[in-house]
Amino acid sequence: MGTLTKSSAPHVPPMSLRVGKATAKTAKAAPAWSLRVARTLGGENAVDLLIRQHRQIRLGFLKAALPGPWRSRNFHQLMRLLAVHEAAEEAHVHPVARRALRQGRELAARRRHEEKAAKELLIALWRTGPDGRGYLRRLNEARRMITQHAAREEREEFKALRQAVSVPRLRMLGAEVKLTQAYAPTRPHRWVNNEATNKLAAPVLGPVDRALDAVRDRTAP
């Protein structure tokens, strides 16, 4: 049997070079995969998505105050939007801000404190209902607190996220927000107020709330 000469021996690159090439290949593939997922879910920047929902929430408060046969439907649509919006912010957006921004820990803590106080008002509003005594007063209290909270989010947190986080990551975060909102609870729950409890509540309370919503919608006059 002949021996392999230097010219006939198969070329095997050094281990460090092979690992480096594999790592580079993986690094290039990950953003493309993230963008494909984001495009599948609409590819909307998380900040743009949440600001658009803030506008919908402000309009929702106005519609929920109107008298007439549509008040109950408008009220429940508003409560659902508020619930899924806050769930996504608490589960994904504030944690990203906490890690990515220079004063992220302090900002995220302030937003969570505000959201916890707002949730107490929303629970009282939910229990009152659109036909209950004191409904408009409680609705207006919640509107003031939540619109002020949303304005601070946009001014302090969202603006900083645009500068600190890449566009592909914000698009992927938008996809995470949409997925969370598709399964999140649709009414306020007092103990669901941070990243961990929101992620635990989605597969448990989410289906329960949505089943109750379906029963209410079927029996509504």
By C-alpha distance, which of 156, 88, 147 is closest to 118? Answer: 147
- Predicted confidence (pLDDT) per residue in 130-159, tens digit: 999 999 999 999 999 999 999 999 999 999
Q: Are 185 and 202 in contact (CB under 8 A)?
A: yes
By C-alpha distance, which of 141, 203, 137, 153 is closest to 50? Answer: 153
- Predicted confidence (pLDDT) per residue in 180-208, tens digit: 999 999 999 989 988 999 999 999 999 99
Q: Would the CA dihedral through 50, 52, 58, 64 be positive or negative?
A: negative
The string over 45-72, giving b where at least 16 C-beta atoms fall within 10 Å of a residue's C-beta and e elsewhere, is bbbebbeebbeebeebbeebbeeeeebb
- pTM score, whole prediction: 0.79
**What phi and psi, each to the nearest 5 degrees, are found at residue 126?**
-60, -45
Q: Which of 3-7, 114-118, 122-126 has the lowest mean pLDDT?
A: 3-7
Q: Which fold would CATH assign to domain 42-219?
A: Four Helix Bundle (Hemerythrin (Met), subunit A) (1.20.120)
Higher pLDDT, 36 or 112: 112
The string over 128-140, giving b where at least 16 C-beta atoms fall within 10 Å of a residue's C-beta and e elsewhere, is bebeeeebeebbe
Unique residue bearing structure tokens 């008298």 = 67
By C-alpha distance, which of 108, 99, 100, 93 is closest to 47? Answer: 93
DSSP 152-204: HIIIIIIHHHHHHS-HHHHHHHHHHHHHHHHHS-SS--TT--SHHHHHHHHHH
- Predicted confidence (pLDDT) per residue in 3-13, tens digit: 444 444 445 45
Stated as kind and residue range, the H or E segment containing 135 is helix 135-152
